[in-house]
Structure 1
Amino acid sequence: MKKLILGLSAICLIAFTSCKENAAKKIDESNIAAAAERDANASKFPVIEFDKTEHDFGEIEAKKSVSTTFKYKNVGDAPLVITDIKSSCGCTVPEDWSRDPLAPGDTGEFSVKFNGSGSNKVSKTITVTANTEKGKETVKITAFVKTDPNANNNTTKTVVQ
Protein backbone atom coordinates (compact mmCIF):
# COMPACT_ATOMS: atom_id res chain seq x y z
CA MET A 1 0.00 0.00 0.00
CA LYS A 2 2.90 2.33 0.81
CA LYS A 3 4.41 1.62 -2.61
CA LEU A 4 1.11 2.48 -4.31
CA ILE A 5 0.79 5.82 -2.50
CA LEU A 6 4.44 6.61 -3.18
CA GLY A 7 4.00 5.73 -6.86
CA LEU A 8 0.88 7.91 -7.25
CA SER A 9 2.64 10.78 -5.48
CA ALA A 10 5.59 10.52 -7.86
CA ILE A 11 3.29 10.53 -10.91
CA CYS A 12 1.43 13.59 -9.59
CA LEU A 13 4.71 15.39 -8.89
CA ILE A 14 5.93 14.69 -12.41
CA ALA A 15 2.61 15.82 -13.93
CA PHE A 16 2.59 19.11 -12.04
CA THR A 17 6.22 19.97 -12.73
CA SER A 18 6.20 18.94 -16.39
CA CYS A 19 4.16 22.01 -17.40
CA LYS A 20 7.05 24.37 -18.02
CA GLU A 21 5.01 27.03 -19.82
CA ASN A 22 3.43 29.74 -17.69
CA ALA A 23 -0.34 30.03 -18.25
CA ALA A 24 -0.20 33.84 -18.00
CA LYS A 25 2.01 33.92 -21.08
CA LYS A 26 -0.71 32.22 -23.13
CA ILE A 27 -3.17 35.14 -22.74
CA ASP A 28 -3.58 37.15 -25.93
CA GLU A 29 -4.17 40.87 -25.32
CA SER A 30 -6.54 41.17 -28.30
CA ASN A 31 -8.77 38.49 -26.76
CA ILE A 32 -8.92 40.47 -23.52
CA ALA A 33 -10.02 43.61 -25.37
CA ALA A 34 -12.63 41.71 -27.38
CA ALA A 35 -14.01 40.06 -24.22
CA ALA A 36 -14.20 43.43 -22.42
CA GLU A 37 -16.13 44.96 -25.33
CA ARG A 38 -18.44 41.95 -25.50
CA ASP A 39 -19.14 42.17 -21.76
CA ALA A 40 -19.84 45.92 -22.00
CA ASN A 41 -22.30 45.37 -24.87
CA ALA A 42 -24.03 42.51 -23.06
CA SER A 43 -25.57 44.97 -20.63
CA LYS A 44 -27.09 47.06 -23.44
CA PHE A 45 -30.70 46.23 -24.27
CA PRO A 46 -33.18 47.61 -26.73
CA VAL A 47 -36.06 49.53 -25.18
CA ILE A 48 -39.43 49.60 -26.91
CA GLU A 49 -41.52 52.76 -26.50
CA PHE A 50 -45.12 52.75 -27.80
CA ASP A 51 -46.98 55.81 -29.05
CA LYS A 52 -49.93 54.47 -27.01
CA THR A 53 -50.27 51.48 -24.72
CA GLU A 54 -54.07 51.34 -24.87
CA HIS A 55 -56.58 51.94 -27.65
CA ASP A 56 -60.31 52.36 -27.01
CA PHE A 57 -62.55 51.63 -30.00
CA GLY A 58 -65.45 53.21 -28.16
CA GLU A 59 -68.92 51.83 -28.81
CA ILE A 60 -69.09 49.30 -31.67
CA GLU A 61 -71.76 47.01 -33.12
CA ALA A 62 -71.56 43.31 -32.29
CA LYS A 63 -69.60 41.28 -34.86
CA LYS A 64 -68.25 44.47 -36.48
CA SER A 65 -64.55 44.18 -37.30
CA VAL A 66 -62.36 47.13 -36.28
CA SER A 67 -58.61 47.68 -36.33
CA THR A 68 -55.94 49.99 -35.00
CA THR A 69 -52.20 50.44 -35.39
CA PHE A 70 -49.68 50.54 -32.58
CA LYS A 71 -46.48 52.43 -33.45
CA TYR A 72 -43.28 51.87 -31.52
CA LYS A 73 -39.71 53.16 -31.39
CA ASN A 74 -36.47 51.55 -30.27
CA VAL A 75 -35.10 54.02 -27.71
CA GLY A 76 -32.46 51.59 -26.38
CA ASP A 77 -28.81 50.97 -27.19
CA ALA A 78 -29.12 47.71 -29.14
CA PRO A 79 -31.13 46.45 -32.14
CA LEU A 80 -34.73 45.50 -31.28
CA VAL A 81 -36.02 42.15 -32.52
CA ILE A 82 -39.72 41.33 -32.10
CA THR A 83 -40.09 37.57 -32.24
CA ASP A 84 -43.82 37.23 -31.62
CA ILE A 85 -47.01 39.18 -30.97
CA LYS A 86 -49.99 37.34 -29.46
CA SER A 87 -53.37 38.38 -28.12
CA SER A 88 -55.24 37.13 -25.10
CA CYS A 89 -57.90 35.49 -27.34
CA GLY A 90 -58.57 34.46 -30.92
CA CYS A 91 -60.97 37.35 -31.58
CA THR A 92 -58.03 39.76 -31.66
CA VAL A 93 -55.43 39.30 -34.39
CA PRO A 94 -52.09 41.16 -34.38
CA GLU A 95 -50.41 41.34 -37.80
CA ASP A 96 -47.99 43.16 -40.09
CA TRP A 97 -44.95 43.52 -37.86
CA SER A 98 -41.37 43.29 -39.04
CA ARG A 99 -39.23 40.45 -37.80
CA ASP A 100 -36.06 42.24 -38.93
CA PRO A 101 -33.86 43.94 -36.30
CA LEU A 102 -34.86 47.55 -35.62
CA ALA A 103 -31.83 49.80 -35.05
CA PRO A 104 -31.75 52.21 -32.10
CA GLY A 105 -33.80 55.29 -32.95
CA ASP A 106 -35.84 53.57 -35.69
CA THR A 107 -39.62 53.10 -35.62
CA GLY A 108 -42.00 50.29 -36.53
CA GLU A 109 -45.66 49.40 -36.24
CA PHE A 110 -48.14 46.54 -36.12
CA SER A 111 -51.88 46.42 -36.57
CA VAL A 112 -54.51 44.73 -34.41
CA LYS A 113 -57.90 43.58 -35.67
CA PHE A 114 -60.78 42.90 -33.30
CA ASN A 115 -63.85 41.05 -34.65
CA GLY A 116 -66.38 42.60 -32.26
CA SER A 117 -67.18 39.46 -30.30
CA GLY A 118 -68.43 39.63 -26.74
CA SER A 119 -70.82 42.07 -25.16
CA ASN A 120 -70.63 45.18 -23.03
CA LYS A 121 -67.13 46.32 -21.99
CA VAL A 122 -64.45 44.14 -23.60
CA SER A 123 -60.71 44.38 -22.93
CA LYS A 124 -57.99 42.40 -24.73
CA THR A 125 -54.25 42.29 -24.02
CA ILE A 126 -51.63 42.02 -26.78
CA THR A 127 -48.25 40.65 -25.66
CA VAL A 128 -45.15 41.64 -27.64
CA THR A 129 -42.24 39.22 -27.20
CA ALA A 130 -38.92 40.91 -27.94
CA ASN A 131 -35.28 40.99 -26.89
CA THR A 132 -35.87 43.76 -24.35
CA GLU A 133 -34.67 43.44 -20.77
CA LYS A 134 -38.14 42.31 -19.58
CA GLY A 135 -38.66 40.09 -22.64
CA LYS A 136 -42.37 40.85 -22.91
CA GLU A 137 -44.24 44.13 -23.32
CA THR A 138 -48.02 44.57 -23.38
CA VAL A 139 -50.55 46.87 -25.01
CA LYS A 140 -54.33 46.77 -24.63
CA ILE A 141 -57.47 47.35 -26.68
CA THR A 142 -60.90 48.05 -25.23
CA ALA A 143 -64.37 48.49 -26.68
CA PHE A 144 -67.98 48.58 -25.63
CA VAL A 145 -69.75 45.99 -27.79
CA LYS A 146 -73.44 46.71 -28.25
CA THR A 147 -75.63 43.64 -28.31
CA ASP A 148 -76.93 42.54 -31.68
CA PRO A 149 -80.68 43.33 -31.87
CA ASN A 150 -81.13 40.46 -34.36
CA ALA A 151 -79.64 37.87 -32.02
CA ASN A 152 -81.94 35.17 -30.72
CA ASN A 153 -83.15 35.67 -27.19
CA ASN A 154 -82.35 32.63 -25.10
CA THR A 155 -84.99 33.37 -22.51
CA THR A 156 -87.55 30.72 -21.83
CA LYS A 157 -91.21 31.62 -21.75
CA THR A 158 -93.49 30.16 -19.17
CA VAL A 159 -96.88 29.14 -20.47
CA VAL A 160 -99.75 29.39 -18.01
CA GLN A 161 -102.56 26.89 -18.64
Structure 2
Amino acid sequence: MKTIFTLLCIGLISVSASAQEFKFESETIDYGKVAKASNGERTFIFTNVGDQPLIIENITSSCGCTVPKKPEQPIMPGKKGEIKVSYDTKRPGGFSKAITIFSNAKTPRKVIKIRGFITNENVLEKPKSLLSDS
Protein backbone atom coordinates (compact mmCIF):
# COMPACT_ATOMS: atom_id res chain seq x y z
CA MET A 1 0.00 0.00 0.00
CA LYS A 2 2.82 2.36 0.88
CA THR A 3 4.52 1.62 -2.47
CA ILE A 4 1.34 2.33 -4.41
CA PHE A 5 0.86 5.63 -2.56
CA THR A 6 4.48 6.61 -3.28
CA LEU A 7 4.15 5.81 -6.98
CA LEU A 8 0.88 7.74 -7.15
CA CYS A 9 2.53 10.80 -5.54
CA ILE A 10 5.48 10.63 -7.94
CA GLY A 11 3.09 10.38 -10.89
CA LEU A 12 1.11 13.42 -9.75
CA ILE A 13 4.29 15.44 -9.19
CA SER A 14 5.61 14.59 -12.66
CA VAL A 15 2.27 15.54 -14.26
CA SER A 16 2.10 18.84 -12.41
CA ALA A 17 5.75 19.60 -13.18
CA SER A 18 5.00 19.41 -16.89
CA ALA A 19 1.80 21.46 -16.85
CA GLN A 20 3.35 24.07 -19.14
CA GLU A 21 1.81 24.50 -22.55
CA PHE A 22 1.88 27.16 -25.21
CA LYS A 23 -0.58 28.21 -27.88
CA PHE A 24 0.43 30.01 -31.07
CA GLU A 25 -1.67 32.69 -32.72
CA SER A 26 -0.74 30.84 -35.93
CA GLU A 27 1.43 27.74 -36.35
CA THR A 28 2.16 28.61 -40.00
CA ILE A 29 3.29 31.93 -41.41
CA ASP A 30 2.55 32.34 -45.11
CA TYR A 31 4.87 34.96 -46.59
CA GLY A 32 2.80 34.96 -49.78
CA LYS A 33 4.69 36.37 -52.78
CA VAL A 34 7.66 38.49 -51.76
CA ALA A 35 10.33 40.19 -53.83
CA LYS A 36 13.83 38.74 -54.04
CA ALA A 37 16.19 40.15 -51.36
CA SER A 38 13.32 41.72 -49.40
CA ASN A 39 12.91 41.56 -45.62
CA GLY A 40 12.54 37.88 -44.68
CA GLU A 41 11.94 38.34 -40.95
CA ARG A 42 8.64 37.25 -39.44
CA THR A 43 7.49 36.69 -35.86
CA PHE A 44 5.50 33.86 -34.32
CA ILE A 45 3.56 34.99 -31.24
CA PHE A 46 2.51 32.49 -28.58
CA THR A 47 0.99 32.51 -25.11
CA ASN A 48 1.99 30.34 -22.16
CA VAL A 49 -1.39 28.80 -21.30
CA GLY A 50 0.09 26.59 -18.59
CA ASP A 51 0.55 27.27 -14.91
CA GLN A 52 4.35 27.11 -14.82
CA PRO A 53 7.10 29.17 -16.53
CA LEU A 54 7.70 28.00 -20.11
CA ILE A 55 11.34 27.59 -21.08
CA ILE A 56 12.27 27.35 -24.76
CA GLU A 57 15.42 25.24 -24.61
CA ASN A 58 16.34 25.13 -28.31
CA ILE A 59 14.95 25.85 -31.77
CA THR A 60 16.16 24.22 -34.98
CA SER A 61 15.18 24.73 -38.62
CA SER A 62 14.98 22.32 -41.52
CA CYS A 63 17.73 24.17 -43.43
CA GLY A 64 20.39 26.85 -43.07
CA CYS A 65 18.31 29.35 -45.05
CA THR A 66 15.97 29.72 -42.07
CA VAL A 67 17.33 31.21 -38.84
CA PRO A 68 15.04 31.13 -35.76
CA LYS A 69 15.70 33.15 -32.60
CA LYS A 70 14.36 31.85 -29.30
CA PRO A 71 13.31 33.89 -26.28
CA GLU A 72 16.13 33.98 -23.73
CA GLN A 73 13.94 34.38 -20.64
CA PRO A 74 11.22 32.00 -19.38
CA ILE A 75 7.68 32.96 -20.41
CA MET A 76 5.51 33.26 -17.33
CA PRO A 77 1.97 31.77 -17.21
CA GLY A 78 -0.52 33.90 -19.14
CA LYS A 79 2.23 35.95 -20.83
CA LYS A 80 3.06 36.20 -24.53
CA GLY A 81 6.37 35.31 -26.12
CA GLU A 82 7.92 35.68 -29.58
CA ILE A 83 9.99 33.52 -31.88
CA LYS A 84 11.59 35.52 -34.68
CA VAL A 85 12.39 33.72 -37.91
CA SER A 86 14.56 35.05 -40.74
CA TYR A 87 14.35 33.43 -44.18
CA ASP A 88 16.98 34.10 -46.86
CA THR A 89 14.91 35.82 -49.55
CA LYS A 90 17.78 35.82 -52.05
CA ARG A 91 16.68 32.37 -53.23
CA PRO A 92 13.89 32.70 -55.85
CA GLY A 93 11.10 30.15 -55.94
CA GLY A 94 8.72 28.49 -53.54
CA PHE A 95 9.68 27.43 -50.04
CA SER A 96 8.20 25.52 -47.14
CA LYS A 97 10.34 25.14 -44.01
CA ALA A 98 9.79 23.54 -40.61
CA ILE A 99 11.00 25.03 -37.34
CA THR A 100 11.18 22.66 -34.37
CA ILE A 101 10.87 24.02 -30.84
CA PHE A 102 12.21 22.09 -27.84
CA SER A 103 10.82 23.21 -24.47
CA ASN A 104 9.74 22.10 -21.04
CA ALA A 105 6.08 22.03 -22.19
CA LYS A 106 3.75 19.08 -21.76
CA THR A 107 4.54 18.27 -25.40
CA PRO A 108 8.30 18.99 -25.40
CA ARG A 109 8.67 19.14 -29.20
CA LYS A 110 6.51 21.42 -31.35
CA VAL A 111 6.80 22.09 -35.10
CA ILE A 112 5.79 25.40 -36.68
CA LYS A 113 6.15 26.28 -40.37
CA ILE A 114 6.86 29.07 -42.82
CA ARG A 115 6.06 29.06 -46.52
CA GLY A 116 5.90 31.41 -49.44
CA PHE A 117 7.22 32.29 -52.87
CA ILE A 118 10.19 34.54 -53.69
CA THR A 119 9.74 36.35 -57.01
CA ASN A 120 12.71 37.35 -59.12
CA GLU A 121 12.24 41.11 -59.58
CA ASN A 122 14.99 41.29 -62.17
CA VAL A 123 12.95 39.33 -64.70
CA LEU A 124 10.27 41.47 -66.30
CA GLU A 125 7.82 39.92 -68.70
CA LYS A 126 7.46 41.65 -72.04
CA PRO A 127 3.91 43.03 -72.32
CA LYS A 128 1.88 41.30 -75.03
CA SER A 129 0.42 43.45 -77.73
CA LEU A 130 -3.16 42.85 -78.76
CA LEU A 131 -2.14 43.48 -82.39
CA SER A 132 0.67 40.94 -82.65
CA ASP A 133 0.37 37.16 -83.12
CA SER A 134 3.00 36.25 -80.51
Match of residue 49 from structure 1: 23
Structure 2 distance, partners of 1:70, 1:86, is: 14
> Runs of 4 or more off by more than 6 Å in structure 1?
none
Q: Does 1:125 align with 2:98?
A: yes
Match of residue 101 from structure 1: 74
Structure 1 distance, partners of 2:34, 2:73, is: 35
Deviations 1:109-153 (Å, cap 9, x if unpaired)? Answer: 121111114333211111111012221111111111113536xxx
For normalisation by structure 1, the TM-score amounts to 0.62
Deviations 1:5-57 (Å, cap 9, x if unpaired)? Answer: xxxxxxxxxxxxxxxxxxx9xxxxxxx99x94x65231022111111111111
Q: Which structure is larger by alpha-carbon Rg, 1 or 2?
A: 1
Percent of residue pairs identical = 30
Q: Which of the two has greater strand per residue?
A: 2
Structure 2 distance, partners of 1:148, 1:90, is: 23
Instruction: Name the SS for the 1:112 alignment partner.
Output: strand
Structure 2 distance, partners of 1:93, 1:112, is: 6
Q: Does 1:80 align with 2:54?
A: yes
Q: Does 1:143 align with 2:102?
A: no
Structure with the larger RCO, 1 or 2 (CA within 8 Å, 6+ apart):
2
Instruction: Name the SS for the 1:41 alignment partner.
Output: helix
Match of residue 35 from structure 2: 61
Instruction: Name the SS for the 1:137 alignment partner.
Output: strand
Match of residue 115 from structure 1: 88
Structure 2 distance, partners of 1:41, 1:103, is: 20
Residue ranges of structure 1 left out of the alignment (5+ in a row): 1-23, 25-31, 151-161
CA RMSD of superposed structures (Å): 2.5
Bigger shift: residues 98-107 or 42-51: 98-107
1:121 alignment partner AA: G
2:49·2:77 contact (CA, 8 Å) conserved in 1? yes
Residue ranges of structure 2 left out of the alignment (5+ in a row): 124-134
1:142 alignment partner AA: R
For normalisation by structure 2, the TM-score amounts to 0.73
Count residues with an aligned counterpart: 117
Structure 2 distance, partners of 1:93, 1:144, is: 17
Q: Does 1:40 align with 2:12?
A: yes
